[in-house]
Amino acid sequence: MSESTSLYRRHRPGSFDEVVGQTHVVRTLRNAVEGGKVHHAYLFVGSRGTGKTSMAKILARSLNCERGGPTVTPCGECESCLTIASGTSVDVIEMDAASNRSVDDVRDLRERVAYAPTGGRWKVYILDEAHMLTKEAWNAFLKTLEEPPPNTVFVLATTESHKVMATIADRCQRFDFQRPSLEQISEVLTRVAAAESIEIEEGAVAMIARSASGSFRDALGTLDQLVAFGGSRVELKDVLEMLGAADADLLFEAVDAVLAEDPKGVLLGVERMARSGRDPSQFARDLLAHLRHLLIAQTTGEVPTGFVVTATDTARMQAQASAIKPANLVRTIDELANALTAVREGDDARLAVEIALLKAARPDLDPDTAGLLRRIERLEDGGTRPAGPVTAGDPPSLPVAKASSGMVPPTVPPAGESVPQDDPPPAEEEEAEAAPEESPPLSDELSLEEIQRVWPAVLHKLSETAPALAATLEGARPVSFGEEGLQVGFPPEMTFNKKKADSPERRDTVAAAFAAVTGTGLRPTYVVLEGEAPPDTPAPGSEEIDEDRLLEQMKSEFDAEEVG
């Protein structure tokens, strides 16, 4: 055979003993050949590159080998075996249903079926992509498939079995070809490399196997390209360069930036990846594989070896697996998976990866409900931050302050009165409402700084008792605390939220949340913070917002639609 023939064709398995994997198919076909019970029609189902056509040719060689056929060990040297392998046998007819799918093509096939074998004992028809035949072609083929001439076998190969007519599938013995494992693909790559005198690093074998996505053909095709790219020596760096895969440092650094909650580090890491010429989508897939291995290492305590790029640095893998919290790890996996879905739907790949990693590093940057839940999750971690004013999302330190004589205890709605319907307090608030009317004295240490530090915990408590109110207060912050009490400020663009929160009942609910967290019911007043207003928002002190603008702001705040 010509040396220009692809590695995949040159190294097709020639007998059942050479097949890697597909044990159930091999065993059944061997028994059928040995027992003289070969069926007249087979349906081979499986993804591309899993060996469907190769298995069909092995069956044909076993039936037609001139040295003792039918046999499960065809010689591979007789004329019949050689012509079947090269695709020139007159008794083994390969037909591509994708380009020969009409009624006329099937009629031609029916005419050929009528002729007896010439060189061998059996005629074997291999129909690739069988699901591509038209309904009319299937109907024309049905009678022939049901009652073929003696010593005739049909092998229908397809990647989409659901498109094969039920009346056809019912007349075939079906075999489902499984995707080969990484170990099986690596075994084939190593065997072919040895036969072709190709020096290949173990890491390169593992990376090629992983990139093949369960296809022997794709794996050997990649090896073919690498030999053309760099000669008979294949190294891991060559594989990474050709596949556009990320190297270990890029992956470790991306996770380090997420661990450090460092948005700048995230963006710089993606920039380094882009400058290296790697594909952002491939980078996301490699990072997902790395995160999966961190999850396995975290769960089992052992570093897996399947992902060769980072598994070679076991100490760093173990350190990252110990440092990242399970919830953060799973969340980062979810964000990247969502990013890849968005890319498949047409989003810019680099931007999608950047946003996913930024959300993973800083939950407070995520404006939706899931982001709020993540901030709450961080609050539950408790007191890992240094003291000082806290930004959104920081885990708070929760000092239990005592009430002073000047503080207003949380008021409870009189018996029989209901709380406004948009913020119904659940049963859990009963404990806060049952607090004594006079709280213990407040410690002298309570300050604006401490109130700012516990503010996220107050919002967390509100999310349990009055989630709508908690969402309304998201973005506001304590700005002053003194003789006039506590003032909570809203940015200028959140004037509507301020009006919504500023009712006696809702301020009482906030006071109850303060009491639950600190032991003191701080009943806030609300102000609009000074500062530059957005272009489409009136500056503080200007005239009231008009009705149309208020309507538009409500639709924006609540993602609502105007009806009627």
In angstroms, the CA 232 to CA 225 distance is: 11
What pLDDT is recorded for position 31?
Answer: 94
CA 512 to chain centre: 42
478: preceding bond cis by omega (within 30 degrees):
no
Question: CATH assignment of 7-176, given 3.40.50.2300, 3.40.50.300, 1.10.150.120, 3.40.50.1460?
Answer: 3.40.50.300
Residue 7's φ and ψ, nearest 5 degrees, are -60, -35
Residue 395's φ and ψ, nearest 5 degrees, are -65, 125
Query: The dihedral of CA 96, 100, 101, 105: what is its sign?
Result: negative
- HSE of 240 in the Cβ direction (CA atoms, 13 Å)? 20
Question: CATH assignment of 182-243, given 1.10.8.60, 3.40.50.300, 3.40.50.1100, 3.40.50.720?
Answer: 1.10.8.60
Q: How many of the other CB atoms lie within 10 Å of CB of 507?
A: 21
Residue indicated by tokens 């650094």: 253
Answer whether 522's CB lies under 8 Å from 451's CB. yes
Residue 16: what residue type?
F
What pLDDT is recorded for position 286?
Answer: 85
Residue indicated by tokens 């490699």: 286
| CATH class, 248-361 region | mainly alpha
In angstroms, the CA 256 to CA 157 distance is: 47
Which residue, among 89, 66, 67, 76, has the nearest Cα to 17 in the 3D structure? 76
Alpha helices (H) along 325-416: 326-344, 349-361, 369-381
| Sequence ranges of the domains in the chain | 7-176, 182-243, 248-361, 386-528
φ/ψ bin of 51: left (φ > 0), alpha (ψ from -120 to 50), beta (otherwise): left
Question: Which pLDDT tens digits describe the chain residue by residue (564 residues)?
Answer: 445 678 888 888 889 998 988 899 999 999 999 998 999 999 999 988 888 999 999 999 999 898 877 899 998 888 888 888 888 888 888 888 777 667 777 777 777 777 777 766 888 989 888 888 888 888 878 888 888 888 889 999 998 888 888 888 888 999 999 988 888 898 999 999 999 899 988 888 888 887 787 889 889 998 988 888 878 888 888 887 787 666 778 888 899 999 888 889 999 989 988 887 778 888 888 898 889 888 888 888 777 665 656 655 778 888 888 888 888 888 899 999 999 998 888 889 899 999 999 988 887 666 555 556 656 665 655 544 333 333 333 433 333 333 333 344 444 444 444 444 444 444 444 443 433 333 333 444 568 888 888 888 889 888 888 888 888 898 899 988 887 788 899 988 888 888 888 888 888 889 888 888 887 888 899 998 876 444 444 444 444 445 666 666 666 666 666 665
What pLDDT is recorded for position 409?
Answer: 43
| Full-model pTM | 0.54
Residue 141: what residue type?
F
* CA distance readout (Å), 304 to 154, 325, 330: 43, 19, 18
In angstroms, the CA 51 to CA 156 distance is: 13
125, β-bridge pairs: 93, 154
CATH 3.40.50.2300 matches 386-528: no
Burial class from Cβ neighbours inside 10 Å (0-12, 13-18, 19+) for residue 559 reads: exposed
Helix (H, G, I), strand (E, B) or coil at 555: helix
Q: What is the largest CA-CA distance in the chain?
A: 109
Going by DSSP bridges, is the β-strand pair 92-96/123-128 parallel, antiparallel, or unpaired?
Answer: parallel
